Structure 1
């Protein structure tokens, strides 16, 4: 009669123990039943749940971690049994080996076994972080679900919301220093970050999921793997140490995954984090700005592609002067006692600009002359006022040759017969009109008496703002 198969045969077959520090192990005997949850930063971030059973550790990979609320079930994918020595394992599994990446112990302890069947396991955990009664139930193949049966330990804990609209600032003069904090105004794209289960989702102002554009920001999810958070910030591309919206343009409109990966290495962005809206089951929106900043500071969010720059309480004039000297766009003043009001433009946040900038709707274009004959000469732009698109001038400078070609193709695809402008001065006769679907960012020196922009310079197209939301320059 042949020998019974060892329950660790599958585990050993996947590993070269001359290369990996993981234990080879032997089937053990049970006394108290133990468990471990390991945070596994491998190709995909996940948690490994391992239960001591019949001399080995029966194991599941849980992509979103152990649920803390009975309202949510999480996927648990059963993997091969592991040796009991894995209860204490943590460290680096070298590249090229199965499960390569960093393994940390998230929690461990003992558990009470209530039921162990082929398709259902019910236990009560007694750990430092993981406590309470849970059931794992099989849904098909290797896939199981893990469900918390007890109420949440934190009775006030709520599920993380799907969407929080970003709070907006009003344009204005520098307020007095008392009762205000001051931050640099970053010239990038606003993004709210939702982090749950070690994964990040980035949402723009118009609720577009922009996560795939910036793969270099995904490690931020891993850095906050033990938390559920919502962050507010700005995706910025730096050139010579200065934010460059035009450089960011090259990242905003890519559709090729290969190009996205390449530029994430050669022209990486930085996520500048300036607010914390949600933390571990609790909304922070009603807290004053000063309290939210203190909680944000405790997260110590400074990494290879993300920063949480300090805010300056008092002396806004000095920060404004420093920003002007460095060629930055300006600063934002924030009242220390100001709550976060989603989707609203608040007088509790005031943007003070060194440069006049505006978002404008593209309603047409002028053919080029001279060196630009046959090509785009200038954008014909406007803004909405009382529901009508008002003509606001032409922007012809600020383009690279590549950007001229790209924008012209977008315009030609949107050609229309009549003018979309229904208010303001009449546009030039030579205009080729387009559907008002594109939004551009421009710098300008002033507004004329008839409401047009003086010397507008093109900075780039942006897809994070809907055309109908573009109003008169502030």
Structure 2
């Protein structure tokens, strides 16, 4: 039986990780999707997200059948399942509908044909994945180069010195000032308090263009609720903009009483 290999966890960083060497480390794209392990053992291929098995939703796809047929026993591939131009929250919907295009981007090979490769140099493991990709054209190449942060599905980058340990994850972060254009009541532990704020910017014709909701306020601020709809300006951090104009993972940073709402405009 193939033993499960725990998911390698990456440390978060906003900068180049300490000790990074472009000649011995790899830097690969981190898509905004679901982390997934494919495990082949006893002639069967299974797929696992962090907390559940998802084989039943993938076996109908042609590329899954090809992996089942071609991969040798004792192989584990770590990959990202994602939807083109959609956030990670769209993956469950695409996962359950075999007619929807679900992309797969492999980024680590911790075991191959019964050989554990966890401590293998990342550049060697990357080359193994490149070779595997050339044999399985339905895979994406494990990209080892800078990709523009403007790419909607790029969430950040993963820096690796070893194949499956000591990873660092660098996420792109932007901040912008928005007008509070609405409020959402809290529920659950926040019942009776502020749940989230709706944010927007002034368009060229004077109308408000909404950019969705954000939270991230502490409990004291939720209770005090200092936000005045149509007047209060807030700074919001986010991890990129989606194809539909929405923000990826927006969160409240601070109030901006020094900034007039007239300055909060769409660029």
Question: Do both proteins adopt the same fold according to a TM-score greater than 0.5, normalized to the shorter chain?
Answer: yes
Offset from partner CA, 1:26-66 (integer Å, 9 cap, x none): xxxxxxxxxxxxxxxxxxxxxxxxxxxxxxxxxxxxxxxxx
In the TM superposition, what is the alpha-carbon distance from 1:395 to its structure 2 partner?
5.8
Secondary structure at the residue paired with 1:167? coil
**How far off is 1:427 after superposition?**
3.8
Structure 2 residue 6 is the aligned partner of structure 1 residue 165: yes
Are 2:164 and 1:340 aligned? yes
Pick closer, same or farther for the CA change 1:286–1:174 going to 2, 3 Å: closer
1:354 is matched with which residue: 144, 154, 172? Answer: 172
Q: Which residue of 2 aligns with 1:123?
A: none
Tell me the alpha carbon deviations over residues 297-330 of structure 1, each in whole angstroms, 9 at most, x when there is no partner.
33235333x3242324xxxxxx1xx321324322
Partner residue, 1:196: 41
Q: Select the structure of larger CA radius of gyration.
A: 1
Q: Contact (CA 8 Å) 2:108, 2:163: kept in 1 or not?
A: no
| 3-state secondary structure, aligned to 2:35 | strand
Residues 251 and 243 of structure 1: is their aligned pair in 2 closer, same or farther, counting only changes over 3 Å? closer
* Alpha-carbon offset, residue 289 of structure 1: 1.6
Equivalenced residue count is 200
Q: Mind listing any 5+ residue stretches in structure 1 that lack a counterpart?
A: 1-158, 253-259, 313-318, 342-347, 358-367, 370-376, 383-390, 398-422, 431-440, 450-474
8 A Cα contact 1:229 1:278, kept in partner: yes
Q: 1:276 touches 1:296 (CA, 8 Å); kept in 2?
A: yes
Aligned to 1:444: 250
Q: 1:218 to 1:349 in 2, by over 3 A?
A: same
Q: Deviations over 1:335-375 (max 9, x none)?
A: 2xx2524xxxxxx3222222469xxxxxxxxxx98xxxxxx
2:25 aligns with 180
**Alpha-carbon contact 1:380-1:395 (below 8 Å) kept:** no
Structure 1 pair 393/302, CA: closer, same or farther in 2 (3 Å)?
Answer: farther
1:219 match: secondary structure:
helix
**Residues 271 and 339 (structure 1 numbering): CA distance in 2 closer, same or farther, change over 3 Å?**
closer
Q: State the TM-score, normalized to the length of structure 1.
A: 0.36
CA shift at 1:231, angstroms?
Answer: 0.6
Matching of residues 52-451 of structure 1 within 5 Å: 159-161=1-3, 163-172=4-13, 173-175=15-17, 176-178=20-22, 179-206=24-51, 208-214=52-58, 215-216=60-61, 217-238=63-84, 242-251=85-94, 260=96, 263-265=97-99, 267-300=100-133, 302-304=136-138, 306-312=139-145, 319=146, 322-327=147-152, 328-335=154-161, 338-341=162-165, 348-355=166-173, 377=184, 394=196, 424-425=219-220, 427-428=222-223, 443-444=249-250, 447-448=253-254
On the 8 A contact 2:130/2:142 being kept in 1, the answer is: no
Instruction: Deviation per CA, 1:379-420: give whole Å up to 9, x if none.
Output: 6699xxxxxxxx9962657xxxxxxxxxxxxxxxxxxxxxxx
Deviation at 1:426, TM superposition (A): 6.3
Equivalent position SS for 2:94: helix
Deviations 1:106-139 (A, max 9, x none): xxxxxxxxxxxxxxxxxxxxxxxxxxxxxxxxxx
**Cα distance, 1:230 vs structure 2:** 0.5
212 and 356 in structure 1: CA distance in 2 versus 1, 3 angstrom threshold: farther
Evaluate the alpha carbon distance shift between residue 190 and residue 298 of structure 1 in structure 2; reply closer, same or farther with a 3 A threshold.
Answer: same
| Higher relative contact order, structure no. (Cα contacts within 8 Å, ≥ 6 residues apart) | 2
- Name the residue aligned to 1:12: none
Compute the TM-score of the two structures, normalised by the length of structure 2.
Answer: 0.61
CA deviation after TM superposition for structure 1 residue 278, in Å? 1.1
Per-residue deviation, 1:168: 1.5
Which SS does the other structure have where 1:268 is aligned? coil
Call closer, same or farther: CA 1:442–1:228 in 2, change over 3 Å. Answer: same
Q: Secondary structure at the match of 1:251?
A: helix
Distance change in 2, residues 1:349/1:268 (3 Å): same
Kindly state the Cα deviation for residue 177 of structure 1 after the two structures are TM-superposed: 4.8
CA distance in structure 2 between the aligned counterparts of 1:249 and 1:177, rounded to whole angstroms: 37
Q: How far apart, in 2, do the equivalents of 1:221 and 1:188 lie?
A: 20
Are the counterparts in 2 of residues 381 and 395 from structure 1 also a CA contact under 8 Å? no
SS at 1:307 equivalent:
coil
What is the rounded CA distance, in whole Å, between the counterparts of 1:396 and 1:193 in structure 2?
A: 39
